[in-house]
């Protein structure tokens, strides 16, 4: 597996993404999971981004840590999974890990826990959501990237970051992630309507409604 990853990386060793002119003026930048030096190379081309998010993984934390650590102060929002949060921070406890990573640069850290949901850490608040429990999961491929796309899309639509926007963005990320795993490839996403999305968003809010504003009237 390690050999396969190394091979794949060597194949792309000359990959050096150059943005199109329009993209130099992007307000919202999501640096998907690739070498931290390439993430920096992309970010350097954006004149004045309002929000920068980045994804990373165990491979870069283990093998390109210095470049990743240099990048972190330029990142507003970092996404990674629980094991990666532990690796990056050196803290086994996730609460300590989240706060340690915030000290490395990002204002917000999203710890993705697959079927168990997402933990969001910021300096003054924690937010925890479960994944939407599905009756059938066909293929989990792409759930993380779909989450990130919906999350960034919501933030871009609001045009501002605060705790409320971040929380709603996480929920829309979970909602869209819950759709993509219901079929192979992008088939489920391609057939979605806005109504499908809003219905599941509302179902998600009911699922997690622990102070039961809806239920108290019963």
Provide the minimum distance between the beta carbon of 164 and its own copies in the complex, in angstroms, as a whole number: 4
Query: Is residue 26 involved in binding its own copies (CB under 8 A)?
Result: no
Candidates 5-13, 54-62, 102-110, 119-127 — which segment interacts with its own copies by CB under 8 A?
A: 119-127
- Residue 181 CA, chain-centre distance (Å), reads 16
If one asks whether residue 10 binds its own copies (CB under 8 A), the answer comes out as no
How far is 155 from 163, CA to CA, in rounded Å? Answer: 11
- For residue 57, give both structure tokens: 């993984």
180 vs 203: CA distance, rounded Å: 17
Neighbour-count burial of 168, counting CB atoms closer than 10 A to its CB (0-12 exposed, 13-18 middle, 19+ buried): middle
Q: Confirm or reject binding of residue 162 to its own copies (CB under 8 A).
A: yes
Choose the binding region for its own copies from 41-49, 71-79, 113-121, 142-150 (rule: CB under 8 A).
113-121
Cα separation, 149 vs 156, whole angstroms = 10
Binding residues for its own copies restricted to 60-89, rule: CB under 8 A: none
**Residue 211 within binding range of its own copies, rule CB under 8 A:** yes
Nearest partner of 122 among 104, 105, 98, 141, judged by Cα: 98
Binding test (CB under 8 A) with its own copies, winner from 27, 196, 198, 209:
209
State the minimum distance, in angstroms, from the CB of residue 72 to its own copies: 22
Our CB check for its own copies shows the closer of 23 and 206 to be: 206
């Amino acid at each position: 597996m390690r050999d396969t990853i190394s091979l794949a990386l060597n194949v792309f060793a000359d990959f050096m993404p150059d943005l199109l002119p329009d993209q130099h003026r992007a307000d919202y930048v999501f640096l998907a999971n690739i070498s931290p030096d390439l993430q920096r190379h992309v970010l350097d081309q954006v004149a004045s981004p309002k929000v920068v998010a980045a994804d990373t993984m165990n491979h870069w934390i283990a093998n390109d840590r210095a470049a990743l650590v240099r990048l972190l102060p330029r990142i507003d929002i970092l996404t990674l999974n629980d094991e990666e949060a532990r690796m990056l921070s050196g803290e086994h406890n996730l609460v300590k890990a989240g706060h340690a990573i915030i000290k490395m640069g990002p204002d917000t850290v999203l710890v993705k826990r697959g079927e168990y949901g997402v933990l969001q850490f910021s300096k003054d608040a924690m937010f925890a959501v479960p994944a939407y429990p599905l009756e059938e999961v066909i293929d989990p491929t792409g759930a993380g990237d779909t989450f990130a796309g919906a999350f960034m899309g919501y933030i871009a639509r609001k045009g501002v970051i605060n705790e409320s926007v971040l929380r709603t963005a996480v929920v829309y990320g979970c909602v869209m992630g819950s759709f993509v795993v219901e079929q192979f490839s992008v088939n489920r996403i391609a057939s979605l309507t806005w109504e499908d999305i809003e219905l599941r968003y509302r179902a998600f809010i009911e699922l997690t409604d622990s102070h039961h504003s809806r239920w108290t009237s019963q």
